[in-house]
Amino acid sequence: MDLVSSVFGSIAHWVDIQSLLLFTVLFLLIADYLKTRRPSSFPPGPWALPFVGNIFTVDFNRAHETLTQLAETYGDVYSLRMGQTWMMVLNGFQIVKEALVTQGDSLADRPMLPLQADISHNLGLGLSNGHLWKQQRRFALSTLKYFGVGSKSLERAILDEFTYSGKNITDRKGKPFNPHVIINNAVSNIICSLVFGHRFEYEDERFINFINKFDSAFQIIGSIWAMLYNAFPNMMRRLPGPHHTVQQFFSEVKDMIRSEIKEHRKNWNPAEPRDYIDCYLTEIQMRKGDAESTFDEENLVMGALDLFTAGSETTSTTLRWAFLYMAKYPEIQEKVQAEIDRVIGHSRQPSMMDRANLPYTDAVIHEIQRMGNIVPLAVPHSTNRDIQLGDYTVPKGVVIIPNLTSVLFDKREWETPYTFNPGHFLNEEGKFVKRAAFIPFSAGKRVCLGENLARMEIFLFFTSFMQRFTFSMPAGTKPVLDYCFGITLAPAPYEICATPRRE
C-alpha cells in the first residue's frame, strides 16, 4: 500500500512539474506576443518567431540580398523584428531619398545598439547623437579641410603614396599577388598622415596585423553574432564567441590611439598644429570651462577611430573591386588607358584637374562603386520623432535600415542594373553625367564623413594605377566576383597580375 501511494505521489508530482513548465512556456509565449506584436501602424513583414523574431529569416552571409528579395514580397517599406527590437527596411531610391533627404532631420540619429554602444560608448563621430554628434562632426569637417581634404596639398600626398605602392607592385614583376595589404596600406597611410601626422611602412608587421584585424572586425559586426548580441545583450555578454573578439580588437585599437595622443602631448605646440590630434588637443584646451563643450580625450579616441574607418575602408575596398572588374573586362580597361594616355600621357602624374577631361574613366569609377556596392545596408538610422513614411506612421525610436543595395540596383533607375555598364554615367555625347540614384556613401545628414576624401583618393589612385599597369588574372584563372559580407562588402581574397605598361 505504501509503495502504491509512493508511485502515485511521484506521478502527481511529475504531472505538477509538467503543468508548471507548460504554463510557464505558454505564459512566456503570450507575454512575448503581447509585448512584441507588430504595431498597427507598421508596414507588413515576414512572420516572426517567438523571442528571436526574424533573426533566422535573414541569411547574414548575404543579408543585403535577403533584404532586397523580401521587398519583392512585402513592398519597398517593410518591418522586421530582431529579438525584441522592431526595425523598418527601406528599399528603392524614392523611399530612401524621402527618408534620408526630405525627412533627414527626423532620421539624423543612430540607434543605441548594445554591441556598438559597448565599443563606442556612444562617443565620437559615427555613432553619437544630438549636440555631441553635431559639435564633433563640425570640428572634424573643418579640420580635415584645414589639412587639405579637397585641395591641391592633399593631392600631392596621395600621389606620393601611390609612388610607394606603385614601386611595391612593380617589384612583383608581373607575378600573381594579393593586392589587399598593399592597397590597404596605401589608402590607410593617407588618413594616418592626416590624423596621426605620419605614415606606416608597408612591411610594418604591427600595421599589417592591425589592418587584417580590422577586416575581421567589420565582418563580425555585420554577422549574426552581432545581431544576437544586440537582441540579447545580457545573455551574450556572458557567452563566448566572436562578439568578444571584436570588442577586444577595438579595445586594442583605442589603446594604440591613446599612445599616439600621449606622444603628441610631449611636443605639442598649439600655434603649429601638425595633424588632427594636435588640433583636437588645442580645442580641448580652448574650451575648458565651457559647459557646452563635448571635447575630451575619449571623444578624441573614438573620433580618430571613426575617421580611420571612414577614410580608409571604403576606398581600399573600392580599389580592390576595381582591379577585379578591369581584369574581367579588359576591353573597358583598354578604353580607360587610351583616354588617360590621350589626356595625361606618361610624363606626368594625374591631377584632380584632369577629371573633367576623363569622362569615360570617371564613368568607369562610378560604375565600379555602383556594382561594388561597398556599404550595402548603410549604417542604421533611428527616428527622433514620429514621422509619416509612405503609407505608414513610424514612431520615434524605430531603427531604420536604408537598403542601399536596392538603390544602386533599382530597376526603375538603371537601364541595366545587374550589368557592368559605364554607359549608366555617360550621355549621348559621351560626357559624364552623375545619376541621382548614385548614393554609395548614403545621403542626407549622416552622409559618410569621409566622402570627399574617398572620392579624391579613388580617382587619383585608380587613374595612376591604370596609367602605370595593366591588370589581369593569373594564367588559367578567371575573375570571380565573390564577396565577404560585413559592414562593407569586400571582394573575396584573390590574386592578380599587374604588368607595367611602360616606364
Residue count of the chain, please give it.
Answer: 503
- Domains of the chain are 38-500 (1.10.630.10)
How far is the C-alpha of 365 from the C-alpha of 382, rounded, in Å?
31
Band of pLDDT at residue 28, cut at 50, 70 and 90: low
Residue 342 CA neighbour count, 13 Å, CB half: 11
Q: How far is CA 247 from CA 83, 179, 296, in A?
A: 21, 27, 22
Which pLDDT score is estimated for 206? 76
Q: pLDDT tens digits for 447-498? A: 988 888 999 999 999 999 999 999 999 999 999 999 998 889 999 999 999 9
The answer to whether residue 412 scores a pLDDT higher than 70 is yes
Share of the chain above pLDDT 70, in %: 92
Which pLDDT score is estimated for 24? 62
Share of the chain above pLDDT 90, in %: 65
Band of pLDDT at residue 8, cut at 50, 70 and 90: very low
* 3 state DSSP class of 401: strand
Q: pLDDT tens digits for 341-362? A: 999 999 899 999 999 999 999 9
The answer to whether residue 105 scores a pLDDT higher than 60 is yes
Please give the average per-residue pLDDT across 189-218, as a whole number: 83
* 3 state DSSP class of 499: strand
Please give the average per-residue pLDDT across 221-249, as a whole number: 89
Q: What are phi and psi of 184, to 5 degrees?
A: -60, -45
* 3 state DSSP class of 381: strand
The answer to whether residue 14 scores a pLDDT higher than 70 is no
Write down the mean pLDDT value for the chain: 89
Q: pLDDT tens digits for 245-290? A: 989 989 988 998 999 999 999 999 988 999 999 999 999 999 998 9
Which pLDDT score is estimated for 150? 65
Q: Which of 32, 39, 37, 33 is nearest to 394 (CA)?
A: 39
The answer to whether residue 7 scores a pLDDT higher than 60 is no
Which pLDDT score is estimated for 37? 66
The answer to whether residue 62 scores a pLDDT higher than 80 is yes
The answer to whether residue 152 scores a pLDDT higher than 90 is no
Q: Confirm if 198 and 227 have CB atoms less than 8 A apart.
A: no
How many Cβ atoms are within 10 Å of 199's Cβ, its own excluded?
Answer: 20
Band of pLDDT at residue 294, cut at 50, 70 and 90: very high
